[in-house]
């Protein structure tokens, strides 16, 4: 009996390092992948530093004077290079799920009231996960996520792109109510747009489609608006 226990103990002692080695091997792969991600970010930043001389940063070292406050979704497929070739100092960016005013009101207000941007833009996008979630059952999500989805007011089970456009229009409406005074004085214009990287709207893949300007949503009227006139 003692011999059996001793043998079992020896086998267990042998198996433990092997199991731990297996666990380490499983953990090593994610660590290696993470290291690669961090390395890539640092390399890209090094490339950015190398290609941008000190003069490039001169206009932004002492403060910011952005031309627009832009509220976009946090989605990784939506980024400033699609909107502005030189976004540094140009765009005061506010990001959250569903490109909402309600969940980022302070940030948006800062852009309008303190940075005095003449343009406030809400940018929705194709295949928006927040819109898909808000139009379905998200009761099993965490409370913080549910709170942010609760403020997206769209119908359940609807078409995603229709929901994206409705959400953008509702953000514009909310902003026009909040900043009514600035709009009446001609200090602020509120624009709603959809960044369409899938070409769902059939106007070109990657195009920023303006669908609302100070509450005007008629496509024909928007096309004739001097602010949106073709080059």
**Over the stretch 142-178, which tens digit does the pLDDT of each residue have?**
999 999 999 999 999 999 999 999 999 999 999 999 9
Task: For residues 55 and 175, give the distance between their C-alpha atoms in angstroms, rounded to a whole number.
Answer: 36
Report pLDDT digits (tens) over 199-208. Answer: 999 999 999 9
Domain boundary residue, one of 10, 25, 51: 51
Query: What pLDDT score was predicted for residue 24?
Result: 52
From CA 206, how far away is CA 123, in angstroms rounded?
A: 13
Q: Is the pLDDT of residue 134 over 80?
A: yes
**DSSP code for 52:** S
Task: Please compute the mean of the pLDDT values over residues 187-191 and round it to a whole number.
Answer: 98
**Residue range 3-19, pLDDT digits in tens:** 444 444 444 444 444 44
Q: Are residues 33 and 78 in the same domain?
A: no
**pTM for this entry:** 0.85
Q: What are phi and psi of 61, to 5 degrees?
A: -70, -30
Number of domains forming the structure of the chain: 2
Q: Which domain holds residue 9?
A: 1-51
Q: Are residues 158 and 222 in the same domain?
A: yes
* Domain shared by 47 and 70, yes or no: no
């Amino acid at each position: 009996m003692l011999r059996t226990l001793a043998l079992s103990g020896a086998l267990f002692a042998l198996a433990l390092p092997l199991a731990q080695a297996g666990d380490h091997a499983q953990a090593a792969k994610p660590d290696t992948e993470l290291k690669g991600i961090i390395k890539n970010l640092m390399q890209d930043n090094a490339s950015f530093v190398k290609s941008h001389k000190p003069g490039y940063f001169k206009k932004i070292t002492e403060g910011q004077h952005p031309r627009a406050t832009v509220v976009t979704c946090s989605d990784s497929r939506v980024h400033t290079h699609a909107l502005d070739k030189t976004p540094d100092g140009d765009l005061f960016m506010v990001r959250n799920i569903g490109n909402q005013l309600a969940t980022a009101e302070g940030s948006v207000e800062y852009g309008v009231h303190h940075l005095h941007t003449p343009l406030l833009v809400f940018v929705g996008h194709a295949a928006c996960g927040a819109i898909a979630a808000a139009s379905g059952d998200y009761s099993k999500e965490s409370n913080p996520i549910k709170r942010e989805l609760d403020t997206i007011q769209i119908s359940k089970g609807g078409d995603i792109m229709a929901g994206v456009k409705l959400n953008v229009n509702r953000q514009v409406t909310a902003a026009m109510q909040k900043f009514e005074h600035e709009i009446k004085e001609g200090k602020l214009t509120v624009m709603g747009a959809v960044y369409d990287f899938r070409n769902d709207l059939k106007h070109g893949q990657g195009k920023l489609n303006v669908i609302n300007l100070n509450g005007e949503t008629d496509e024909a009227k928007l096309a004739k608006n001097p602010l949106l006139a073709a080059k």
